[in-house]
């Protein structure tokens, strides 16, 4: 069992957990993730390692409340336990001194972007941090990303904070101005990463995205997280999650992301019904 040491509500639909997992904390590298199982009958869900403390033996994970399991996990507090925290999994992000790197975090992806951007900064890169969300209330870890950025931009769809618009508009302006930009990393919703890819492609700027397709076993056996990259089938769990954005088959990824939406809605409805009955 893995003890939850602390929790923090970040937004109306996301919650942070500090979990005691020494074996993960010792080995985890930027870009990797863990598979979490809440209890003996729970499903396996992949969660990015947003931060870690090797000395304390803890990792930080952030859960966005979307489906049944994420809503269930959001009810847990410090002192509760998780049945399984398996990892670290996935291939770490490739960190080196590229020069000038734009680090884009969209919505919930901002927390996943943080450890990558921090490692890139430590490797000597100049970091252009660009984060965005639908509105100010959904911005996550703005202070952390700002701290490690040489330039920093905030965008919101409704203009409630920073610039009104999208992260890709800031990126487009940088490219059009022919400013030095050696690499782009991005984490966020699929539409955002797809738009980012279309923005950098005409300029030939190397672009890496961290993909989050539906995943089950996270060992490469089930094949559920398969994506097509450069015309070849890859598994995000063992070949990724980072991929060359310009090689990703985005149409296929969008279609696969919607495969289990009806089942996910049904599971969530049943969970909420059971909670309501338990409170009655």
The answer on pLDDT for 267 being more than 70 is yes
Residue 280 binned pLDDT confidence (cut-offs 50, 70, 90): low
Q: Report pLDDT for 260.
A: 73
Residue 105 binned pLDDT confidence (cut-offs 50, 70, 90): very high
Kindly state the average pLDDT of the residues 106-132: 93
Q: Strand pairing of 126-133 and 151-156?
A: parallel
Q: How far is CA 164 from the centre of its chain?
A: 23
pLDDT in tens, 11-34: 888 999 999 999 999 999 999 999
Per the DSSP assignment, residues forming a β-bridge with 208 are: 185, 244
Q: Report pLDDT for 120.
A: 97
Find, among 44, 22, 43, the residue nearest to 218 by Cα: 44
Kindly state the average pLDDT of the residues 218-224: 83
Residue 213, SS3? Answer: coil
The pLDDT mean for the chain works out to 91
Q: Report pLDDT for 89.
A: 93
The answer on pLDDT for 104 being more than 70 is yes
The answer on pLDDT for 9 being more than 80 is yes
Q: Report pLDDT for 88.
A: 94
**79: number of Cβ within 10 Å:** 10
Q: Report pLDDT for 223.
A: 83
Choose between 217 and 138: higher pLDDT. 138
Q: Taking a C-beta distance cutoff of 8 angstroms, is the pair 156, 139 a contact?
A: yes
Q: Which two tokens stand for residue 99?
A: 């020069």
Find, among 111, 126, 132, the residue nearest to 59 by Cα: 111
Q: Report pLDDT for 108.
A: 82
Low-confidence winner among 131-135, 161-165, 242-246, 270-274 (lowest mean pLDDT) = 270-274
The answer on pLDDT for 263 being more than 90 is no
Q: Report pLDDT for 248.
A: 96
Confidence (pTM): 0.90
Percent of the chain exceeding pLDDT 90 equals 70
Kindly state the average pLDDT of the residues 176-196: 93
The answer on pLDDT for 272 being more than 90 is no
């Amino acid at each position: 069992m893995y003890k939850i040491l602390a929790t923090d509500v970040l937004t109306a639909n996301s919650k942070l957990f500090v979990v005691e997992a020494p074996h993960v904390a010792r080995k985890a590298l930027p870009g990797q993730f863990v598979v979490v199982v809440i209890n003996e009958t729970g499903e396996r869900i992949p969660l990015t390692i947003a931060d870690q403390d090797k000395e304390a033996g803890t990792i930080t994970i952030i859960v966005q409340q979307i489906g049944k399991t994420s809503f269930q996990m959001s009810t847990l507090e410090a002192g509760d336990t998780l049945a399984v925290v398996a990892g670290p999994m996935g291939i770490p992000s490739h960190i080196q001194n590229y020069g000038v790197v734009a680090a884009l975090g969209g919505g919930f992806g901002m927390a996943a972007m943080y450890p990558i951007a921090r490692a890139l900064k430590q490797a000597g890169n100049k970091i252009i941090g660009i984060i965005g969300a639908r509105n100010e209330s959904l911005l996550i870890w703005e202070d952390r990303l700002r701290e490690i950025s040489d330039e920093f931009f905030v965008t919101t769809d409704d203009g409630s904070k920073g610039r009104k618009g999208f992260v890709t508009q800031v990126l487009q302006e940088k490219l059009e101005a022919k400013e030095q930009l050696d690499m782009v990393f991005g984490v966020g919703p699929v539409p955002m990463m797809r738009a980012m890819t279309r923005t950098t492609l005409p300029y030939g700027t190397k672009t890496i995205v961290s993909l989050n397709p539906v995943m089950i076993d996270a060992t490469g056996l089930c094949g559920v997280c398969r994506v097509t990259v450069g015309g070849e089938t890859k598994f995000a769990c063992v070949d990724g999650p980072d991929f060359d954005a310009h090689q990703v088959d985005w149409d296929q990824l969008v279609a696969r992301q919607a495969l289990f939406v009806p089942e996910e809605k049904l599971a969530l409805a049943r969970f909420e019904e059971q909670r309501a009955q338990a409170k009655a």
